[in-house]
Amino acid sequence: MNLDHVFVCGHPALDFAATLRARRSTRFEMFVTPERLNAWYLKSGLVDAITPADGQDVREAQALRESLYRLITNRRLGEEFDREALAVVNGAARKVPVTPQLTVAGRHNEATPGQALATVARQAVELLSGADAPLLKECGNPECTRIYIDRSRGMRRQWCGMESCGNKIKAAAYRARKRTAAPA
């Protein structure tokens, strides 16, 4: 599976929750090392520079991610929030977040992994309590478990992203139609 971090969900907290991929089948972990965690924080644009993470930072990020996924799923399905997951997310959101600084070159966000994690938790609180919460959908690819914000006209979007899932599903459907239409 591709080791690149992908940002197709429409919100940083959703992209963070999607770092454990294919939850129903192969379960592919993106945060396998502290370096991979830091790479996510940098590629997401959450920070411009980050102090090195360690194993404890990875475990905390994974715990927050799983709690976020539980709450996002609860919201999407119209269920009551899981109390344990709420405690994890709210606990992380109470910590010191990334603090932007103004430099002669412009805005600069330098943080610790803990500050970056607190920022993700705060973004999740805003998402799950905000106007975009009713727009949450799960990708239509049975192998994908990403949840995204569907802002399409008529809420007809089916996949987390065309490049990641949509093209695969459309190509498979095309091949199936061609096989069915082939002369016997």
Nearest-Å Rg of the Cα atoms of the chain is 18
Residue 182: per-residue pLDDT: 62
Residue 1: per-residue pLDDT: 47
Residue 168: per-residue pLDDT: 62
pLDDT of 140 over the 70 cut = yes
Domain limits of the chain?
Answer: 12-181
Q: What is the pTM of this model?
A: 0.87
The C-alpha atoms of residue 122 and residue 13 are separated, in whole angstroms, by: 9
Residue 150 binned pLDDT confidence (cut-offs 50, 70, 90): very high
Mean pLDDT along residues 17-28: 88
The third-level CATH classification (topology) of the domain covering 12-181 is Jann2411-like fold (1.10.3300)
Name the percent of the chain lying above pLDDT 70.
Answer: 88
Which tops the pLDDT comparison, 121 or 23?
121
Name the percent of the chain lying above pLDDT 90.
Answer: 72
The C-alpha atoms of residue 147 and residue 90 are separated, in whole angstroms, by: 21
Mean pLDDT along residues 23-28: 84
pLDDT of 146 over the 60 cut = yes
Residue 134: per-residue pLDDT: 95
- For 6-56, give the DSSP string: ---SSSHHHHHHTTEE-TTTT-EES-SSHHHHHHHHHHTTS-SEEPPP-HH
C-alpha 120, offset from chain centre: 10
Residue 173 binned pLDDT confidence (cut-offs 50, 70, 90): low
pLDDT tens for each residue of 38-96: 999 999 999 999 999 999 999 999 999 999 999 999 999 999 999 999 999 999 999 99
